Amino acid sequence: MLTPMKSTFVAVAAVVVAMSITSAWAEDKSTSGPATAASPKQLQKISPLLQVADMKKSLEFYTKKLGFAVKWKDGDGFAILSRDGCDLFLGQNQTKVDLRNSTARAKKDGFASYDLHIHCAPGAVDALWKEFRKADAEILEKDGPVNREYGIRDFTVVDPDGYLIVFGSPID
CATH topology of domain 4-92: 3.30.720
Find how far residue 44's CA is from the centre of its chain: 16
How many Å is the Cα radius of gyration of the chain?
A: 17
Pick the more confident residue, 40 or 93: 93
Q: Where are the domains of the chain?
A: 4-92, 102-170
Q: What is the Cα–Cα distance from 100 to 49, expressed in whole angstroms?
A: 12
pLDDT digits (tens, 9 = 90+) for 89-103: 999 998 867 766 555
Considering the four listed CATH numbers 3.10.180.10, 3.50.50.60, 3.40.50.10320, 3.30.70.890, the one that applies to the domain covering 102-170 is: 3.10.180.10
Band of pLDDT at residue 161, cut at 50, 70 and 90: very high
pTM higher than 0.75? no
